[in-house]
Amino acid sequence: MNVALHNNKPREQWASRTGFILAAMGSAVGLGNIWRFSYVAGESGGGAFLLIYLLCILIIGIPIIMAEFTIGRRSQQDVVGSFESLSSGGAWRYAGLLGVTAAFMILSFYAVISGWIMHYFIQYLNGSFWTAPAEGYEGYFVSFTGSFTQSILWHFLFMALVIIIVMLGVKKGIELSNKILMPLLGVLLIVLAGYSLTLGGAAEGLSFLFTPDWSAFSDPAVYLAAMGQAFFSLSLGMGTMITYGSYLSKKEQLPGAAFSVAGLDTGFAILAGVMIFPAVFAFGIDPSSGPGLVFMVLPDIFNNIAAGGIVGLGFFFLLAAAALSSAISILEVAVAFFMRKFDWSRIRAALVIGTIIFLIGIPSSLGFGPWAGVTIIGDNGILDSIDFIASNILLPLGGLIIALFVGWSWKTVDALRESDFGQTTIGYIWLFILRFIAPIAILLIFLSSIGLF
Ligand code: TRP
């Protein structure tokens, strides 16, 4: 392992450039692309949402990934430490604390959903899902998530895995899994998207996803949902990419990495949409079914395929692996902070924080069972409400601060040099976006969604 000295402490680094890009991709590609993208797009009406989402990736997401990479590599520190060391005090470091808070919230419900994915994998492994259960796949989903013990058990197992891998260190395990399993998931998605188009719902599904309903453009909630999805899917706004950038040596070129991560992540989401929506219409499922959407639709797809049991097995295995590499990146944000701040060992930080996050996640899980009627924000249940606050508010807020930090508090020459853009046109465009476009876009979306204009 390469060792760089910072504050006299050796710091782990990625073994290679591909190791870093793969890890950043592994963080970005996860449940956000498949589970969250499908259900949020389904609830937000499809086409208009997709268009706004793509715009958010382009004018907010990519510039902010670059900003996060740049901050992390320059400071060689965790998210709070980055702001502290680069800003000589000031209020910037609250962005770091915001990030750590978001990490606790996001991983708490992410682990619940990932636990469901693991359970579905086991259902294919032991054959129970090879034929439809008596109550149908939809009925099964409702009774499984409604059972306190079942849901908590899988939630616990998933969190235990995340904790163990983070305890073992930065790159062991993550690099290998990303190198092999993520491409396999991509291939399987392409095949399944192609198959889904033959199920009879292709015309309706594709037009739902790709034909914007123009009236939706006047709905502020769609903008907020699309922006939140862009931040969530790219792992942005809470310092995941700062933390990963901090393990990177000065030799790497950041812009190429940022574009590859964003391109790949968006590709996965669109493919997932092409896989899910034709099937949604073919099987007569309501696209706005909420967080259960993919759990109801996917088994129906596999059930229609000859040897679909094997396909389902492979799919849920790969999706669980993708969820795992994303979850690791979220826990890593909090662990890196606590290790430095309180001088904790990696093992202790992973154990203590992982356990706390598991406990925080329990109410989200209960929201599908005994606490099913509980709503917090609007008619959102517990999981959706925590997701809403973290993804649609905290992450964009963190992103806003990150953009302003690099855009306004760094010297232009420093920002251009440290980002590897150098004094190029695209470098100046990047800074212009960080200074004006991205912050204004984020603020406008916030203000319009609280009805201020
Ligand atoms: N982007 C991941 C996904 O799509 C989830 C994730 C990892 C994340 N790190 C994050 C989301 C940081 C928000 C912030 O599944």
Report the separation in Å between the CA atom of 306 and the middle of ligand 1, taken as the mean of its atom positions.
34
* Whole-number pLDDT of residue 171: 64
- Pocket test of ligand 1: the residue of 60, 101, 158, 232 to mutate, having most ligand atoms within 8 Å of its CB, is 232
- The average pLDDT across 31-56 equals 96
Closest residue CA from atom 4 of ligand 1: 32
Ligand 1 atom index nearest CA of 234: 1
Q: Categorize the per-residue pLDDT at 76 as very low, low, confident or very high, splitting at 50, 70 and 90.
A: confident
* Whole-number pLDDT of residue 170: 55
Q: Categorize the per-residue pLDDT at 3 as very low, low, confident or very high, splitting at 50, 70 and 90.
A: very low
Ligand 1 atom index nearest CA of 28: 1
Report the separation in Å between the CA atom of 353 and the middle of ligand 1, taken as the mean of its atom positions.
18
Question: Judging by DSSP bridges, how do beta strands 3-6 and 9-12 pair with one another?
Answer: antiparallel
- Angle, alpha carbons 301-305-306 (nearest 5°): 160
Ligand 1 atom index nearest CA of 330: 9
Under 8 Å between Cβ of 110 and 316: no
Q: Categorize the per-residue pLDDT at 89 as very low, low, confident or very high, splitting at 50, 70 and 90.
A: low
- The average pLDDT across 143-154 equals 93
DSSP label of 433 = I
Q: Distance between CA atoms of 43 and 164, rounded to whole angstroms? A: 35
Q: Distance between CA atoms of 385 and 19, rounded to whole angstroms? A: 35
Under 8 Å between Cβ of 405 and 112: no
Report the separation in Å between the CA atom of 194 and the middle of ligand 1, taken as the mean of its atom positions.
27
Ligand 1 atom index nearest CA of 391: 13
Report the separation in Å between the CA atom of 256 and the middle of ligand 1, taken as the mean of its atom positions.
20
Ligand 1 atom index nearest CA of 30: 15
Report the separation in Å between the CA atom of 103 and the middle of ligand 1, taken as the mean of its atom positions.
9
* Whole-number pLDDT of residue 11: 63
DSSP label of 51 = H
Q: Percent of the chain having pLDDT more than 70?
A: 94
- Pocket test of ligand 1: the residue of 329, 333, 392, 397 to mutate, having most ligand atoms within 8 Å of its CB, is 329
For residue 90, pLDDT over 90 is answered with: no
- The average pLDDT across 81-93 equals 79
pTM attached to this predicted model: 0.94
Read off the tokens for 415: 């920002």
Closest residue CA from atom 2 of ligand 1: 28
Ligand 1 atom index nearest CA of 326: 7
Q: Distance between CA atoms of 96 and 204, rounded to whole angstroms? A: 44
Report the separation in Å between the CA atom of 131 and the middle of ligand 1, taken as the mean of its atom positions.
33
Render pLDDT for 293-337 as a digit per residue (tens, 0 to 9): 999 999 999 999 988 999 999 999 999 999 999 999 999 889 988
* Whole-number pLDDT of residue 172: 59
Q: Distance between CA atoms of 410 and 66, rounded to whole angstroms? A: 14
* Whole-number pLDDT of residue 93: 78
For residue 401, pLDDT over 90 is answered with: yes
Closest residue CA from atom 15 of ligand 1: 30
* Whole-number pLDDT of residue 4: 41
* Whole-number pLDDT of residue 147: 92
- The average pLDDT across 97-119 equals 96
* Whole-number pLDDT of residue 361: 98
Interaxial angle between packed helices 395-404 and 220-233, expressed in degrees from 0 to 180 and rounded to the nearest 10 = 70
Ligand 1 atom index nearest CA of 390: 13
Under 8 Å between Cβ of 186 and 265: no
- The average pLDDT across 285-290 equals 94
- Rounded to the nearest integer, the mean pLDDT of the chain is 91
For residue 6, pLDDT over 60 is answered with: no
Closest residue CA from atom 6 of ligand 1: 235
Closest residue CA from atom 8 of ligand 1: 235
- The average pLDDT across 388-393 equals 96
Poorest-confidence range of 42-51, 121-130, 333-342, 361-370? 333-342
- Pocket test of ligand 1: the residue of 27, 101, 357 to mutate, having most ligand atoms within 8 Å of its CB, is 27
φ, ψ at 298 (rounded to 5°): -60, -50
For residue 43, pLDDT over 70 is answered with: yes
- Pocket test of ligand 1: the residue of 106, 241, 333 to mutate, having most ligand atoms within 8 Å of its CB, is 106
Under 8 Å between Cβ of 248 and 72: yes
* Whole-number pLDDT of residue 5: 38
Name the nearest CA neighbour of 367 among 390, 385, 391.
385
Render pLDDT for 153-164 as a digit per residue (tens, 0 to 9): 999 999 999 999
For residue 12, pLDDT over 70 is answered with: no
- Among 87-91, 92-96, 337-341, which range has the highest average pLDDT? 337-341
* Whole-number pLDDT of residue 7: 44
Under 8 Å between Cβ of 81 and 75: yes
For residue 2, pLDDT over 60 is answered with: no
- The average pLDDT across 184-210 equals 96
Render pLDDT for 351-363 as a digit per residue (tens, 0 to 9): 999 999 999 999 9
Report the separation in Å between the CA atom of 253 and the middle of ligand 1, taken as the mean of its atom positions.
23
- The average pLDDT across 123-139 equals 95
* Whole-number pLDDT of residue 453: 64
One-letter amino acid of 330: I
Q: pLDDT: is 441 or 97 the higher one?
A: 441
Closest residue CA from atom 9 of ligand 1: 235
Q: Distance between CA atoms of 72 and 419, rounded to whole angstroms? A: 10
Q: Categorize the per-residue pLDDT at 16 as very low, low, confident or very high, splitting at 50, 70 and 90.
A: low
One-letter amino acid of 337: F
* Whole-number pLDDT of residue 13: 67
- SS3 at position 291: helix
Residues with C-beta less than 6 Å from any ligand 1 atom: 27-28, 30-33, 106, 232-233, 235, 238, 240, 326, 329-330, 395
**Beta-carbon neighbour count of residue 215 at 10 Å?**
9
- Contacts of residue 15, Cβ cutoff 8 Å, sequence gap at least 6: 1, 2, 171, 175
